[in-house]
């Protein structure tokens, strides 16, 4: 297992390394070209890539299949459907396949066991962030799916695969996350039943998959399964019933657990874990 010790905030946040590589590439691409290099003149920008190759490199299909998808209007560049064979994509172009944004960089799937004290953000200037913990996990521009508060802990999945990330954004059909929550006081059975049955806050229905007391623990400790990418909704649930959350720990994402991932460490998903995730 490939794991990276985190928690000290060392190393550059993910994305900086890629920026450096792109900068070097741009310097090479803009370097003076000898007048007798006719082949380079014909090829155009060194950073351009044919659209079918771009789609194929993104792992969507083969290059030949990409031609078919392009011809049938499944691919757009910067919001415009492209059906032209041989169309070239420039750096910074937004390419979408069947509505989902794609990238030709290698797909990466990193599972982090987040400790307290790290903000779930990709923005710099926010102090210690989860990006510091996965800085050495991948050269791809991965980002976290969903959020865990700075003082929350547990599993957080990172990827650059928008299709997989989209599985988590649907509160009804998305991937469920399981949380171990400690409250400031015992959760009343009547409140537990109200949460399980669903309730409305300001006219919006809030539903959970499961909620139960933790076996062998006080009634302050709760297990909550919910299909939602943020932890704000969890705080909303308990604030509505006049409880404060003392600690919040994401212990499972779908079938993914913290087994063999110490706090502050990460691992790459195995092929089997990824295939199961895609089938959820």
**Looking at the domain that runs over 16-28+45-101, which CATH code has it been given?**
3.10.290.10
77: helix, strand or coil: strand
Average pLDDT over residues 172-176: 80
Q: What is the pLDDT of residue 167?
A: 84
Task: Tell me the average pLDDT of the chain.
Answer: 84
CA-based nearest residue to 175, from 35, 264, 54, 279 = 279
Average pLDDT over residues 14-21: 42
Neighbour count for residue 141 (Cβ, 10 Å)? 15
Same fold, 16-28+45-101 and 109-279: no
Q: What is the pLDDT of residue 222?
A: 97
Q: List the chain domain ranges.
A: 16-28+45-101, 109-279
Q: What is the pLDDT of residue 168?
A: 84
pLDDT digits (tens, 9 = 90+) for 41-80: 344 455 788 999 898 888 778 889 999 999 999 999 999 9
pTM: 0.69
Tokens of 160: 């650059």
Average pLDDT over residues 148-170: 89
Average pLDDT over residues 103-114: 91
Q: What is the distance between the alpha carbons of residues 4 and 14, in angstroms, rounded to a whole number?
A: 13
What is 109-279's CATH number, 3.40.50.2000, 3.30.70.2500, 3.30.2350.10, 3.20.20.450?
3.30.2350.10
Q: Dump strand ranges (E) for the chain.
A: 49-50, 75-77, 80-81, 88-89, 95-97, 100-101, 109-114, 143-144, 153-159, 177-183, 199-201, 204-206, 210-213, 221-226, 245-253, 256-257, 266-268
Q: What is the distance between the alpha carbons of residues 269 and 3, in angstroms, rounded to a whole number?
A: 11
pLDDT digits (tens, 9 = 90+) for 109-135: 999 999 999 999 988 777 899 999 999
Give the residue carrying structure tokens 């779908």.
254
Given a cut of 50, is residue 28 above it in pLDDT? no
């Amino acid at each position: 297992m490939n794991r990276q010790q985190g928690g000290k905030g060392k190393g550059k946040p993910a994305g900086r390394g890629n920026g450096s590589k792109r900068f070097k590439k741009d310097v090479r691409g803009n370097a003076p070209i000898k007048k007798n290099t006719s082949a380079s003149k014909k090829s155009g920008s060194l950073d351009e890539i044919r659209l079918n190759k771009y789609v194929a490199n993104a792992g969507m299909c083969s290059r030949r299949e990409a031609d078919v998808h392009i011809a049938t209007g499944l691919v757009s560049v910067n919001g415009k459907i492209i059906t032209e064979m041989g169309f070239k994509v420039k750096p910074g172009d937004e390419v979408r396949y069947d509505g989902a944004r794609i990238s030709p960089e290698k797909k990466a799937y990193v599972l982090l066991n987040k400790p307290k004290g790290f903000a779930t953000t990709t923005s710099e200037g926010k102090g210690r962030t989860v990006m510091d913990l996965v800085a050495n996990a991948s050269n791809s521009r991965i980002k976290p799916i969903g959020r865990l508060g700075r003082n929350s802990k547990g599993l957080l999945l990172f990827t650059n695969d928008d299709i997989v990330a989209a599985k988590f954004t649907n509160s009804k059909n998305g991937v469920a996350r399981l949380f171990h929550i400690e409250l400031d006081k015992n959760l009343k059975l009547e409140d537990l039943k109200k949460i399980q049955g669903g309730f409305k806050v300001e006219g919006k229905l809030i539903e959970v998959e499961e909620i139960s007391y933790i076996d062998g623990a006080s009634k302050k400790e709760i297990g909550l399964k919910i299909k939602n990418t943020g932890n704000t909704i969890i705080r909303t649930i308990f604030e509505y019933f006049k409880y404060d959350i003392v600690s919040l720990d994401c212990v499972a994402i779908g079938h993914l657990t913290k087994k063999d991932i110490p706090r502050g460490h990460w691992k790459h998903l195995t092929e089997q874990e990824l295939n199961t995730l895609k089938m959820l």
